[in-house]
Amino acid sequence: MGASRPEATYPAQLAHRLVEMLGEGSVEVTNAGVSGESAPSTLKRLEAFLTHGERPDLVIWQVGTNDVIFGGNPERLTALVRRGLEATAAADVATIVVDQQYFPLILDVGRYEQFVSAVDDTATERNVPLLRRYAMMKQWAAEDPAGFKGLFAWDHFHMNDKGYACLAQQLADAIAQAVSAAKAPPPPAGALRRPDAALAR
């Protein structure tokens, strides 16, 4: 929703960027997202896919926005995210969690942020890499309100092509960095690593 054409969705833009970074034929991105879906339905599909489908190298799980809108509660969201991350760990599949988006029409920011914390705390607890989309978007809205509004489609909720491009670039940079780190030769025995060289979780 919000993209002007299929090639402008964030999974399509992510695939394009990863191919540019990692090489032709090195990446295949499958868009398994369902617009309007909340965590219970996504979790069922995720568990079924991990059990019966072709096992992916990486799952990017964007979760939690619709659970706020449709009247869920943070405790249930915590349980659902924890169960999903347990499923990907059991399948030995790498995972990146993307938390909720910040958007101009949030009616109760305090309540909304309880759901954001539910996602963030669960990913941190499981030591799973997390893209803190909510915090980044909220900071952008405070620093550049006019530019921030340019990220959204006509409904001021779904992102447009530009917004999806930003999300795709953030994820592509993180994935390419992790791939490069995994390919790097190990340091010589006894070498000390600088603390700031560690990948952020």
Segments making up each domain of the chain, as ranges: 6-21+35-175
Range 91-104 average pLDDT: 94
CA–CA dist 35, 7 (Å, integer): 16
- 179 or 200: whose pLDDT is higher? 179
Q: In angstroms, what is the C-alpha Rg of the chain?
A: 18
- 74 or 71: whose pLDDT is higher? 74
Q: Is the pLDDT of residue 21 over 80?
A: yes
Residues paired with residue 125 on neighbouring β-strands, in sequence order: none
- 197 or 48: whose pLDDT is higher? 48
Sign of CA dihedral 82, 66, 9, 101: negative
Cβ burial of 191 (10 Å; 0-12, 13-18, 19+) is exposed
pLDDT for residue 69:
87
Range 3-8 average pLDDT: 93
How confident is residue 181, by pLDDT bands cut at 50, 70 and 90? confident
CATH of 6-21+35-175, one of 3.40.50.1110, 3.30.230.10, 3.40.50.1970, 2.40.440.10: 3.40.50.1110
